[in-house]
A and B are shown apart, each in its own frame.
Chain A
Amino acid sequence: MPAATIVVVGAGQAGCQTAASLRERGFAGRIVVVGDEDHLPYQRPPLSKGHITAQVERKNLWLHPESYYAKNDIELRLSTVVSEIDRSGKAVVLASGERLPYDHLVLALGSRNRPLCVDGGGLDGVVALRTLDEADEVRDRLTKATNVVVVGGGFIGMEIAATAAKIGLGVTVVEVADRLMGRVLSDPASDFLLTAHRSRGLQVELRTSVTGIEGDRGVATGVHTADGRHFPADLVVVGIGAIPNVELAVAAGLPTGNGIVVNEFLETEDPNISAVGDCASFPSAFADAAVRLESVQNATAQPRALAARLAGGPREPYEAVPWFWSDQADLKIQIAGFAAGHPTAVTRGDIGEERFSVFCFDSEGRLRGVESVNKPGDHMAARRLISARVPVTPEQVRDPGFDPRALASGRQTTGSGT
């Protein structure tokens, strides 16, 4: 029997998708979505891409028009902070003291930027990018900046760095690891990216970290690195990862680790509370351990699956194949599955032409991830191959006649011995 009132805490992509999917699934009860920002719920991916060069109008960032919420009987409570979850009383307590009773509670709390804890981290000109307000600030500062230092060579850092370089600014990326986007990319893809960005004029400094930011009258002027160097900077963009927002769950006594722990049905230990999106640590069918993903795919597919169950549908495990993408300069990087950390990587296509894919296989020869650069068809095919666990071998991929699209659509036979 579906719950009568579902409260969703978090009005980002995952929270809004939960509400929208509940209505699409015919849930007829009360839905309340609580968010602490004052904007209408918006899309984050364009913020580090088109938005920072002012190409995206604000109204085109909203996930839904304002009228959508009333029309679908979704109570949207913006600028509203939740201070506590009262599990025994089955209510969410707002900072105002108001209590929102729930039959089922969905935690879509998201994540926040990991702060750069060095001297000068609070200077004017040191920024991060997660929210729309922060994106506006980055955009405005890019129009006035001369030298930009990006701290962190991950998704967001590299997108901003590429954009800043494209508009003619001097850009230095400082990354503590020995490769770019090392947490998510295979070695060949990461090596390519380093070469590609350097050839476009980006300065990339690996294996060092920012140890301090110096300023003049409260305004950043440069950064010092652990290897004793100094880089001038009137804009320092920090993109060193995110921390899941688990505090409400911790205070409520729910198990957390790297995120709020949920099972394959996206339920926490409390059957009346689920968690989705950036804040949820879940057992992925495509990973060897519990994972927590910060991606649009995760923030939409998990809520859809959860909403189906909460609206009275069958109790089925969540098992969508994860995918990611990043636009950096004219490079469209797409990842299906999990690409990093596998022993075998087979490259198909032309690295020199910047159009190729890397197929990543685990020690048992199973295809686990595919990275594509400017090959969206390969990416879409790879999603199907990984999702359906279509047998494919490294030998097959090395064959010049291999066509992942044909295999994904069943027009090419699978690998030998299968």
Chain B
Amino acid sequence: MVKVTFVRPDGTDTIVEADPGSTVMQTAVANGVGEIVAECGGTLACATCHVYVDDADIDLLGEIGADEEEMLGFTASPREPGSRLSCQLTLSPELDGLVVRVPPEQY
């Protein structure tokens, strides 16, 4: 299992054990992190699963794809250096301990 910490907009932490192979978005939805809206169900069509990845973890993640890069230009909360769409972040054992901040607005 892979430990993931969601830092919610109200400042509380939701710490969950996720299956490797699932995405950060799926993990959020399955654990009731409701601020991850994920309207399109993970098909890179909506930009409502935006998260901020901790600086320490950012290099562990794969490159931002061309479509994700375009979508990140239109997130409801401002884009920051750690901005990613969580449907594109697939969990692996190397990501154990991942910390993501959930922005207050998704649409």
Contact = CB atoms under 8 A, between A and B. Distances in A.
Given A377-B70, A380-B73, A60 B45 contact: no
A375 interface: yes
Range class of the B interface residue count: 20 to 34
A46 to B, nearest CB: 5
Given A325-B43, A325-B45, A62 B70 contact: no
Contact of A43 (B41, B45, B73, B74): B41
Given A62-B30, A65-B32, A68-B32, A376 B71 contact: yes
Interface in A40-60: 43, 45-46, 49-50, 57, 59-60
Interface in A16-61: 20, 24, 43, 45-46, 49-50, 57, 59-61
Majority secondary structure, B binding face: loop
Contacts of A45: 40-41, 43
Interface in A61-94: 61-65, 67-68, 71
B91 to A, nearest CB: 12
Given A296-B39, A300-B39, A71 B45 contact: no
A205 interface: no
A224 interface: no
A381 B67 contact: no
A381 B74 contact: yes
B77 interface: no
Given A300-B39, A376-B70, A405-B73, A334 B32 contact: no
Contact of B74 (A67, A300, A380): A380
Interface in B22-77: 22, 26, 29-32, 34, 39-47, 67, 70-71, 73-74
Interface of A: 20, 24, 43, 45-46, 49-50, 57, 59-65, 67-68, 71, 296-297, 300, 325, 327, 332, 334, 374-377, 380-381, 383-384, 405
16 contacts: A46-B41, A46-B43, A57-B22, A60-B26, A60-B29, A63-B29, A67-B32, A296-B39, A296-B46, A297-B39, A300-B39, A325-B43, A334-B45, A376-B71, A381-B74, A405-B73
Given A46-B42, A332-B44, 9 more contacts: A20-B34, A45-B43, A57-B22, A296-B39, A296-B40, A296-B41, A296-B46, A325-B40, A380-B73
